[in-house]
Structure formats: C-alpha cells, structure tokens
Amino acid sequence: MPERVAIVTGGNKGIGFAVVKQLCEKYYGNVYLTARDVTRGQNAVKQLEEQGLRPKFHQLDVTDEDSIRTFRNYLAGKYMGVDILVNNAGIAFKVPAEEGLYSQALDTLDVNYFGIREVCKSLYPLLNEHARIVHVSSSSARLSLIPKESLREKFSDPNLTESQLDALLDEFLEAVRLKRHLEEGWPHCAYTVSKIGIGALTEIQQRKFETYKLVQFDIVVNAVNPGYVQTDMTNYKGILAPEHAAEVIVYSALLPRDTKIRGKYIRFDKVVQVWSKS
C-alpha cells in the first residue's frame, strides 16, 4: 500500500503547530511540518519528537516559487501522491499603517491568498483520490464584510474562475495603491480581503474537482474559520487555545470518504456554512 502524506504549511508555531501535533497523533501516514525558516521548523519538529511524535520536515515558503517547486519535486520523487494539504500559513499586520497601507496589503495578499494559490497550483496535480484540502480561513472571510453589493456579487458568482478571482484581488490592490479602496466599496482591511478571496477560491476549486471527478475522485476542499485563537498573530489575546482551534481543522482534514461537506466554510464549532451566503 502506498505511503500516505499530509502537509501543513506554517507548521512551526501557533495553530499550524497544533495541527501537525494532532495529525501525528491521529493520522496513519507521513505528516510534514513545513516552515519558511529551516531553524524554526526543525526546532518545532524537535519539540514534537520530545513528545514521542515523528513529524517529518521540509522547508516551504509559500511566497517563493523556487521553494514551492523544490518541495513539489521532492514529494513527486518520493511518494505516490499527497493525501492531506492544510494551507495554514498566514500573516496579519498588528498595526494598520496609513502610509504603508499598500505595502501591507501587497504582503498580506501575497501570503494569505496568492501564496495559497501557488501552493495549490503546484501540489494539486499530486493529489490522490479522496484527498482532503483545508484552507485556514477566518471570521473575517465573510462575504458580507464587503460593503459594495456589486463586488459581493462578483465574488459569489457561481461562474467565477480562478483567474477572474485573481484579477478581482489585483483590482483591490490597485484601489489601495490609489487610496480609493474605501470609496470603491472595498473593506478597509487587506486581511479581510485576503480571506474573502480564500472563501471564493474554495468554492471555485471544489466546483473544478466535481467537474474533473473522473480524473481525481472524491477530492474535497473546505475553508475553516478556527475562531479567535491565542497565538502570536493575536498577541495571545484570543479565546481559544491553538489545540482547540486545531480540532476543527484536523476534523476537516480527516473527513470520511464521500463526505457531503464539500466546498464549505466550517466554523470552529464545526457548524457548516455556505461561504457565498456568509
């Protein structure tokens, strides 16, 4: 039987670290803790090894094409395919800058949206039947947080393609650069827009998997809102411990064969929602 493979991005700390730990405990297969920084990643692996767990490590910076390609080639050379992908890596600026707003917006979308897109583009051809993908989203992903109705309609259009979605997010960046995003009906916060992008991407990707189901069978992608969590990102002000938040992510990563939870937005308490109606 081929070896099974699970991958977690941004696994060196916070929610990602807790997800790696729980997958190591619950999943029969190779669990890859990936991190952009090798030392931070290897230190995290060591911590888990001290608890008797056996995660594997590979460097992965989701904004670096070479890093993504190297990881993809490594996986393609070593395994028959990938079974679980948790797109957890993310950033949020703690203090919104007025002057540096554009560069913050660029960085945020680069990691939280375009980074995930690139990882998917590269790793999806390796997915095995029954693969499960989890995009770690947020309560900020709700479509209703976009003030302008016509923009909301574009994001939730059932015929929206990935390249049209990319173009919408580029439109937001351009509006921020020109300092016109508020008058054009966008939210103030780039983090919100990045996670809204992930909500739309989840629905588009699941539609594609259903269309190509004869080639890649029973592949499921969901977005998960892990709640407000005590991590570096929130200055440890969250309500939930990372271990608690990780539970819904691991639940989504281990959804059974032929699950009906496909292309959905799953809340920290496992309530399943339709993102385009959020």
Ligand X SMILES: NC(=O)c1ccc[n+]([C@@H]2O[C@H](COP(=O)([O-])OP(=O)(O)OC[C@H]3O[C@@H](n4cnc5c(N)ncnc54)[C@H](OP(=O)(O)O)[C@@H]3O)[C@@H](O)[C@H]2O)c1
> How many CB atoms within 10 Å of residue 260?
8
Q: Return the range that interacts with ligand X (CB under 6 A); candidates 20-28, 89-97, 153-161, 209-217.
A: 89-97
Cross-strand partners of 46: none
Q: Closer to ligand X at the Cβ: 16 or 55?
A: 16
79, 54 Cβ separation under 8 angstroms: no
Phi, psi of 246 (to 5 degrees): -65, -25
Phi, psi of 160 (to 5 degrees): -60, 135
40 binds ligand X (CB under 6 A): yes
Interface residue with ligand X, options 206, 226, 255, 266 (CB under 6 A):
226
**Choosing from 27, 191, 212, 251, which is the catalytic residue?**
191
Q: How far is the C-alpha of 205 from the C-alpha of 234, rounded, in Å?
A: 29
Interface residue with ligand X, options 55, 90, 187, 263 (CB under 6 A):
90
Q: Which residue has the tokens 């030392």?
A: 39
264 binds ligand X (CB under 6 A): no
251 is catalytic: no
Question: Minimum Å distance from CB 190 to ligand X?
Answer: 12
Closest of 18, 8, 17 to residue 71, by C-alpha: 8
16 binds ligand X (CB under 6 A): yes
Q: How far is the C-alpha of 89 from the C-alpha of 152, rounded, in Å?
A: 25
Interface residue with ligand X, options 129, 153, 210, 232 (CB under 6 A):
232
199 binds ligand X (CB under 6 A): no
Q: How far is the C-alpha of 122 from the C-alpha of 246, rounded, in Å?
A: 25
196 binds ligand X (CB under 6 A): no
Which residues of the chain form contacts with ligand X (CB under 6 A)? 9-10, 12-16, 35-37, 40, 60-63, 88-92, 111, 115, 136, 138, 226, 228-229, 231-234, 238
Residues known to be catalytic:
191
